[in-house]
Amino acid sequence: MNTLKIAIQKSGRLSEKSLELLRDCGIKFPDFKSKLKNTADNFPLEILFLRDDDIPKYVENGIVDIGIIGENEVKEQLRDVTLVRRLGFAKCRLSLAIPREQIYNGNGFFNAKKIATSYPNIVRSYFEDRGVKPEIVEISGSVEIAPSIGLADAVADLVSSGSTLMHNGLAEVEEILRSEAVIIANPALTEQTSSILDSFLFRIQAVMNSRENKYILLNAPNVAIPSITKLLPGMKSPTILPLAEAGWSSIHSVVKESAFWEIIDELKKLGAEGILVIRIEKMVF
Ligand code: PRT
Ligand code: ZN
């Protein structure tokens, strides 16, 4: 039988969220993570657990069909792979940082300076576009200590909270790239494999829709129904059910997580009461 082979980071910042995504897609595996390879019970999927750096290469040469990986790694490695979709987790940025006490005067600062990084290709192309010529020192880990041990004048490193830079006396001065976890695919999948990938992506879309939305129920006086319907259009239009108390209705709809607090204030002003907001498990439009 045909299966879709996926590579996932064995252990690291992408692992847990990648597995959670598979679980939320309803895909079940026996004896998770204790092996290098695993086959799903209820979906034609085989997982390989790999180091993240190796994933683009395995996808390119067809050992696996798809992989979950940081966009930063895809841009650095320049492999022949297709970016299929962004997944909204492991968000970070690749930034340039310099010792805090230095005065920064724009990208020209980096001319003839040594920059330590694990992303030489991305950094080189960033400076080529700006006509600046630094010296790039490639190192594979603990980039942030390079200036303090005299190995470099500056760093280009991944940043999420910014606390690593701060603890090492560095100040972030330019953002080179934004990144998040993505699915990459081999560009020459067979028709059968592509069709399994399509069903997998359909499930992912439903999971991601549900993460971005909440189910909302509230009671409101009937006079407020038209205004509340405008605020809560839902997937098609809200469900409105009469309450036992005359002149009142129960309204059910879906609300974007990002607009949630603003809408709640508006709803209260319109006389809504007993507002319940519930997590959605899956959502198919
Ligand atoms: O062992 P393996 O090779 O598989 O893993 P790895 O150690 O190479 O990678 P890992 O697990 O550290 O990161 C995997 C991916 O997570 C990266 O390629 C990014 O796409 C993404 N990601 C998201 C991050 C961060 N956030 C992040 N903050 N990767 C690394 N960091 C590091 C950064 O390098 C710096 O040392 O965290 C530190 C900065 O964090 P803050 O919060 O202090 O700013
Ligand atoms: Zn790695």
Give per-residue pLDDT as tens, 223-234.
999 999 999 988
Give CATH 3.40.190.10 domain extents, the chain.
4-89+181-189, 92-178
pTM of the predicted protein model: 0.91
Ligand 1 atom with least separation from CA of 181: 20
Element holding 253 (H helix, E strand): strand 248-256
Residue 86: per-residue pLDDT: 97
Residue 30: per-residue pLDDT: 81
Residue 1 has pLDDT above 80, yes or no: no
Residue 250: per-residue pLDDT: 97
∠254-259-261 over CA atoms, to 5°?
Answer: 100
Residue 122 has pLDDT above 80, yes or no: yes
Residues enclosing ligand 1, CB less than 6 A?
A: 9, 12-14, 51-53, 70, 72-73, 90, 92, 157-164, 179
Is residue 169 within 8 A of residue 99, CB to CB? The reply is: yes
Mean pLDDT of 46-63: 97
Residue 34: per-residue pLDDT: 64
Residue 36: per-residue pLDDT: 87
What does pLDDT average to over the chain? 95
Residue 258: per-residue pLDDT: 86
- CA dist 259 and 213 (Å) reads 9
Ligand 1 atom with least separation from CA of 166: 43
Interval between CA 102 and ligand 1 midpoint (Å): 26
- CA dist 137 and 243 (Å) reads 69
Contact partners, residue 89, CB within 8 Å, separation at least 6: 14, 17, 21, 180, 181
For residue 158, give the ligand nearest its CA.
1
Residue 32 has pLDDT above 90, yes or no: no
For residue 13, give the ligand nearest its CA.
1
Q: Whose CA is nearest to atom 18 of ligand 1?
A: 70
DSSP helix, strand, coil percent of the chain (3-state; round to 5): 35, 30, 35
Interval between CA 158 and ligand 1 midpoint (Å): 7
Mean pLDDT of 236-256: 94
Question: Selecting from 3.40.50.2020, 3.40.50.1860, 3.40.190.10, 3.40.50.1370, what CATH number does the domain 92-178 have?
Answer: 3.40.190.10
* Domain at 4-89+181-189, CATH class: alpha beta
For residue 157, give the ligand nearest its CA.
1
Q: What percent of the chain has pLDDT over 70?
A: 98
Is residue 233 within 8 A of residue 224, CB to CB? The reply is: no
**Range scoring the smallest mean pLDDT among 140-154, 182-196, 227-241:** 227-241
Q: What percent of the chain has pLDDT over 90?
A: 90
Mean pLDDT of 78-98: 98
Q: How confident is the model at residue 235 (pLDDT cuts 50, 70, 90)?
A: confident
Interval between CA 50 and ligand 2 midpoint (Å): 9
Interval between CA 12 and ligand 1 midpoint (Å): 8
Ligand 1, from 74, 92, 140: best to mutate by most atoms within 8 Å of Cβ?
92
Residue 81: per-residue pLDDT: 98
Interval between CA 112 and ligand 2 midpoint (Å): 28
Interval between CA 52 and ligand 2 midpoint (Å): 5
Give CATH 3.30.70.120 domain extents, the chain.
213-279
For residue 14, give the ligand nearest its CA.
1
**Range scoring the smallest mean pLDDT among 12-26, 123-137, 185-199, 251-265:** 251-265
* Domain at 213-279, CATH class: alpha beta
Residue 183: per-residue pLDDT: 98
